[in-house]
Structure formats: structure tokens, C-alpha cells
């Protein structure tokens, strides 16, 4: 099932055009590109940020939430075309996948490493994405 991901974060099936009774043809790649370019931070994940469906997705949600990053979540389990499409789009085989300002950052291991090294802070600063520097430091202090 093809879905539109709106800027408010809701996913909804593509609607038929009431005049032609046709379903708009937006490919998975077009939907992905639109999502990553219209949202500052996007996490393609299994489940939602309110209910992650895998430990890796849960971990990245935990990091982003703890440091106060507002992000769009996309549940790849809701649409097999998006699930495969995001892997093709990034040329990265695993989920979750984090995008900042349209650029692929990485998956769970990379986000964890970047959080601990301070690289995630630098990327968010450079990208103009709001987050809590204090919370990011607390993560490093608690795990370093």
C-alpha cells in the first residue's frame, strides 16, 4: 500500500483523484525524497516513535528524544515498498536510517558512535537543528 507521509507526521494511503478516479502515482523513491527534503530530521524505522518495533529503532528514538530533537518518523513496516525503497535510496541495507537536512547519516551503530564522540552534536549544530547540548553531554558522561 502506498502512503503519503505528511509534514505533521501522519501516514495516510494515497487518495484517488475524485475527478479521474485514479490513484496518484508517486513512487516509493519520490515519497522518500519528498519526506527527507521537507523535514529537517527523519528516522525511517520499524514502528513509530511512540511504539518502536525493534531494539535498534528504539535505541535511536531514545537518543533523539533524550536530546530533544524533533523528528519525523516513518514506519517502514507499514509499506513494503517504502521498506525496500529506503534501502535502495540510501544504498544502506539496514533499518533504522536517520536523515538530517536531506542527508543520510547512518543507522543505529553509527548514531550511537556519533552521540558518544560528539559528532552528532556537531552535525546538528552545523545543520541548525535544535537539541539539548546538556542532555547530549549527560549521555556521554553516563556512558563514557
Listed in sequence order, the residues at least 6 apart from 137 whose beta carbon sits closer than 8 Å to its beta carbon are none
Q: Report the predicted TM-score, pTM, of the whole model to 2 decimal places.
A: 0.83
Q: CB under 8 Å to 113, separation ≥6 — which residues? A: 119
Q: Which parts of the chain are beta strand (E)? A: 3-5, 11-13, 41-45, 72-75, 97-100, 103-106
pLDDT per position as a tens digit, 37-50: 999 999 999 999 99
* Domains of the chain, first to last: 3-143 (3.40.30.10)
Q: Is the pLDDT of residue 16 over 50?
A: no
* C-beta of residue 74 within 8 angstroms of C-beta of residue 33: no
**Maximum pairwise Cα distance, the chain:** 60
Residue 36 pLDDT > 50, yes or no? Answer: yes
β-sheet bridge partners, residue 100:
41, 103
Res 11: pLDDT: 54
Q: Give the residue-averaged pLDDT of 98-121.
A: 97
What percent of the chain has pLDDT above 70? 83
**pLDDT at position 95:** 97
Given a contact cutoff of 8 angstroms between Cβ atoms, the answer to whether 140 and 115 are in contact is: yes
pLDDT digits (tens, 9 = 90+) for 62-100: 999 999 999 999 999 999 999 999 999 999 999 999 999
Amino acid at each position: 500500500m502506498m502512503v503519503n507521509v505528511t509534514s505533521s507526521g501522519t501516514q495516510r494511503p494515497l487518495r484517488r483523484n475524485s475527478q479521474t478516479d485514479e490513484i496518484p502515482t508517486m513512487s516509493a523513491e519520490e515519497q522518500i525524497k519528498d519526506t527527507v527534503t521537507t523535514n529537517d530530521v527523519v528516522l525511517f524505522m520499524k514502528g513509530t516513535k511512540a511504539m518502536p518495533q525493534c531494539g535498534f529503532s528504539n535505541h535511536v528514538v531514545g537518543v533523539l528524544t533524550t536530546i530533544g530533537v524533533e523528528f519525523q518518523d516513518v514506519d517502514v513496516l507499514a509499506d513494503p515498498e517504502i521498506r525496500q525503497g529506503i534501502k535502495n535510496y540510501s544504498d544502506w541495507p539496514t533499518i533504522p536510517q536517520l536523515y538530517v537536512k536531506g542527508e543520510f547519516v547512518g543507522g543505529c551503530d553509527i548514531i550511537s558512535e556519533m552521540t558518544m564522540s560528539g559528532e552528532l552534536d556537531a552535525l546538528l549544530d552545523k545543520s541548525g537543528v535544535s537539541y539539548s547540548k546538556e542532555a547530549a553531554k549527560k549521555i556521554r558522561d553516563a556512558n563514557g
